[in-house]
Amino acid sequence: MRRVLQLAALAALSITAFAQSPKFRVLAFYSDTVEHDHVEFAHQAIRFYEGAAKHDGFEFTPTNDWNDLNQKKLADYQIVLWLDDFPHTPQQRAAFEQYMENGGGWLGFHIAAYNDKNTQWPWFVRFLGGGVFYGNNWPPLPATLTVDHPEHPVTRHLPANFLSPANEWYIWKPSPRENKDVKVLLTLASSNYPLGMKDILRGGDLPVMWTNTRYRMLYMNMGHGDKIFTSDIQNRMMEDAIVWIGQTKNAIRNASLEK
Ligand code: ZN
């Protein structure tokens, strides 16, 4: 009898442990020493995703130590976030490459994808789908965005067009859309042009959010200043984005090859 009770207690314990184990673990990198508007966004994003973690059942850990971008640490996490910054050393870059090439997940915001002729990290440009930073509007402004794929898990709760809060929008050359592996999910509507005052975006294809289907990755350009999380519509998408990456195993690459 005592043995049966022990087994029952053990079973109850393991059920509890199962119910409480996170669906996936997220490690979010940020920096306190970068542009003020980017630090502000990062701190708001941390608060936002800490809240989302509670109701979506994942674990969320922020760190401003980019040396945590190493193979040993990353082994415990299914998603890495770059909240407005990027690796600073060859070792950090190498650890990230290895992680992503072996099925890791990535969600990058705003300047996380910034690269130009001085970056000298060809793997990263290919990973992004080929886009190199070409220009931006200034000051930060709201913009109407168009949903490219309304059926996608990240965009399915969005209306066909919506007003995204004030942001500094980046344009890329070439456009990542030219890469056949890239699926663009949100695009800056052409009705926004000309956009800006000091720095003006006058036209061109401006993908705002996309995935390179060869990886478990998603990039979104939002991430400048303290207005980003003021839209319930967009916030829902931000939450859907992390859940989508977390719940996608290695299926993205396979799915894209089947098409
Ligand atoms: Zn910015």
44 CA distance to ligand 1 middle (Å): 14
Residues around ion ligand 1, judged by CB within 5 A, are 168, 224
41 CA distance to ligand 1 middle (Å): 9
CATH code that applies to domain 23-254: 3.40.50.880
Give the pLDDT confidence of 223-233 residue by residue, as tens digits: 999 999 999 99
6 conformational bin, left if phi > 0, alpha if psi -120 to 50, beta if neither: alpha
Question: Residue 75 pLDDT more than 70?
Answer: yes
Question: Residue 27 pLDDT more than 90?
Answer: yes
CA-based R_g, the chain, Å = 20
Which residues are paired to 164 by β-bridges? 143
168 CA distance to ligand 1 middle (Å): 5
pLDDT of residue 248: 85
Contact call for residues 103 and 216 (beta carbons, < 8 A): yes
List, in order, residues 6 or more apart from 169 with CB less than 8 Å away: 136, 137, 141, 143, 188, 195, 201, 206, 208, 221
Residue that wins the pLDDT comparison between 2 and 154: 154
Model confidence band, residue 256 (pLDDT cutoffs 50, 70, 90): very low
Model confidence band, residue 255 (pLDDT cutoffs 50, 70, 90): very low
Sign of the dihedral defined by the CA atoms of residues 168, 110, 116, 206, in that order: negative
pLDDT of residue 21: 84
104 CA distance to ligand 1 middle (Å): 26
Average pLDDT over residues 144-163: 98
The CA–CA distances, whole Å, from 82 to 16, 141, 162, 187, 239 equal 32, 22, 25, 21, 15
39 CA distance to ligand 1 middle (Å): 10
Domain ranges of the chain: 23-254
- List the Cα angle 83/240/36 in 5-degree steps: 20
Lowest-confidence pick of 9-13, 146-150, 191-195, 252-256: 252-256
Mean pLDDT, the chain, as a whole number? 92
pLDDT of residue 12: 57
Average pLDDT over residues 140-152: 98
Question: Residue 257 pLDDT more than 50?
Answer: no
49 CA distance to ligand 1 middle (Å): 20
> Which DSSP helix (H) or strand (E) runs through 238?
helix 232-247
Lowest-confidence pick of 1-5, 138-142, 206-210, 225-229: 1-5
251 CA distance to ligand 1 middle (Å): 32
Lowest-confidence pick of 36-40, 200-204, 248-252: 248-252
